[in-house]
Amino acid sequence: MIDLTSEKSTIIDLYQDLDTATPGQSAQVLSRYYSPNHIWRGYHPFGEIHGAEAVAAQFWAPLKTALTSLQRRQDVFMAGRNEMDGFTSTWVVSMGHLMGLFDAPWLGIAPTGKIACLRYCEFNKVEAVQITETAMYFDIPHLMMQAGLQPFPPQTGAHLVQPGPMPHDALMFAAQPEAEGEKTLAVINAMISDLGQWDSGLSLEDELRQTWHEDMLWWGPAGIGATYTIPRYAQQHSGPFRAGFTDRSKTNHICRVAEGNYGGFFGWPNFTATPTGGFMGMPATGTPGEFRVIDIYRREGDKLAENWIFIDLLHFWNQQGVDILARTTGGHADEN
């Protein structure tokens, strides 16, 4: 087994301190864990932020002010060595919901006074008990929909507050057998190879069957939605997505890790593609756009069974000249 308990402990301690901090204490907490040259990559309109104080001021303090009594409800917690740099760096991954009472405006979204859940997934690079890089993607359109807004036309999948893994075994605070993580990473890599070519010579359904279980669960972001089984995934997401784009670039990741039966990756961006019309009810633009994506997977046996996806759709459509956040809230939010 690879012992990554020290790196995990750093993130566990960060979360304990951050989750109990007041909005005004956020910068002090982050400064204890973030390195002086820390890079934070976040969902639009946040973009790339440098340094603990700036991350606290722009993201955590306003979020904690808006979602009072904020609590972290984790579904996945894992760590791994990063395949993208030859397995030299260590990253710790957390996925779940940040839940609170939506009591004050956030990003122009009016509060409801009710429970609200912000889906999130965070990758933290840990070096010598300090965090040097963070990628944190969340689902702002999902929060908007909970507040009664409709940022996108009706999606092809289902809009849900998403559950965690079916076996409820993904909070891996202890080390996992190394061989299991290697199996998971191998299946993810095979799937990436299939996904990236868009021309396997097979039907879409048969292509998916090479690496996915027939009853796969694809937990997509708000604006696309969740879908279940290979035929419905092909019908409700993968088919329409491929039909709506051209000139897809090769896949590019900053981090790709696996531990036990779980694994995932993120890119900045993962790939670019040009919309030809129809995707999410939007017209063609002819302008290539970036897809910043986090994917988390659960392997069952020799195939993938579940997938949780975070796509920065606000960033993508902003590149197409559509400010979804401003258009829906009546405000204006520039990307950093």
Residue 199's pLDDT is 66
Residue bearing tokens 């910043």: 292
Does pLDDT of 163 surpass 60?
yes
Cβ contact 58:336 at 8 Å? yes
Assess whether 137 and 276 both reside in one domain.
no
Residue in 272, 263, 300 with CA at minimum distance from that of residue 196: 272
Which of 146, 170, 201 is where one domain is finished? 146
Q: Taking residues 245-272, report their average pLDDT.
A: 96
Q: Do 127 and 256 sit in the same domain of this protein?
A: no
Contact yes or no for 90/126 (Cβ under 8 A): yes
Grade residue 165 by pLDDT with cuts at 50, 70 and 90.
very high
Write the pLDDT tens digit of every residue in 72-89: 999 999 999 999 999 999
Whole-Å CA distances, 115 to 61, 138, 143: 18, 17, 10
pLDDT per residue over 268-290, tens digit each?
999 999 999 888 888 889 899 99
**Taking a C-beta distance cutoff of 8 angstroms, is the pair 159, 330 a contact?**
no
- Tell me the one-letter amino acid at 332: H
Q: Tell me, yes or no, whether 320 and 196 share the same domain.
A: yes
Where are the strands (E) in the chain, listed by range? 34-42, 47-50, 67-81, 90-102, 115-127, 130-138, 212-219, 226-228, 245-246, 255-259, 262-266, 271-275, 289-291, 293-300, 303-311
pTM above 0.85, yes or no: yes
Q: What confidence tens digit (pLDDT) does each residue in 144-160 have?
A: 999 999 999 887 788 87
Can you tell me the distance from the alpha carbon of 204 to that of 153, in angstroms, rounded to the nearest whole number?
25
Q: Which pLDDT value is given to residue 42? A: 98
Checking if the pLDDT of 185 tops 80, the result is yes
Question: Domain check: are 221 and 122 in the same one?
Answer: no
The two beta strands, 271-275 and 245-246, are: antiparallel
Q: Are residues 98 and 226 in the same domain?
A: no
Number of residues in the chain: 336
Question: What pLDDT does residue 263 have?
Answer: 98
| In a shared domain, residues 185 and 278 | yes
Residue 114: which domain range?
5-146
Q: Please state, in angstroms and rounded to a whole number, the distance separating the CA atoms of residues 111 and 48.
A: 26
120 domain residue, yes or no: yes
The pLDDT assigned to 237 comes to 92
Residue 196 pLDDT exceeds 80:
no
Residue 41 lies in a domain: yes
pLDDT beyond 80 at 36 = yes
Identify the pLDDT of residue 54: 98
Could you say which of 124, 146, 168 is where a domain stops?
146
Is 60 found in the same domain as 123? yes
Cα dihedral 148→73→295→246 (10° resolution):
10
Q: 4-18, 186-200, 234-248 — which one is most confidently predicted on average?
A: 4-18
Q: Domain with 254 in it: what CATH number?
A: 3.10.450.50
Left, alpha or beta for 298 (phi > 0: left; psi -120 to 50: alpha)?
beta
**Could you tell me if residue 154 is inside a domain?**
no
Environment class of residue 122 by beta-carbon count within 10 Å: exposed (0-12), middle (13-18) or buried (19+)? buried
Q: Do 18 and 135 fall within a single domain?
A: yes
The total number of structural domains that make up the chain: 2
Q: For residues 131 and 171, give the distance between their C-alpha atoms in angstroms, rounded to a whole number.
A: 20
Query: Which two structure tokens, joined as six digits, stand for 288?
Result: 């290539």
Tokens 């997977």 — which residue? 297
What is the spatial distance between Cα 136 and Cα 156, in angstroms, rounded to a whole number?
26
130 and 211 assigned to the same domain: no
Residue 164 resides in a domain: no
On whether both 45 and 103 belong to a single domain, the answer is: yes
In a domain, 158, yes or no: no
**pLDDT band at residue 258, thresholds of 50, 70 and 90?**
very high
**Domain end among 103, 131, 146:** 146
Q: What pLDDT is stored for residue 334 in this prediction?
A: 47
Using one digit for the tens of pLDDT, what is the confidence trace for 278-336? Answer: 888 888 898 999 999 999 999 999 999 999 999 999 999 999 999 999 999 987 554 44
Domain membership flag for residue 50: yes
- Average pLDDT across the chain, whole number: 94
3-state secondary structure of 18: helix
276 and 184 part of one domain: yes
Q: Is residue 163 part of a domain?
A: no
pLDDT-above-70 percentage for the chain:
97
118 lies in the same domain as 211: no
Please give the pLDDT value at position 254: 98
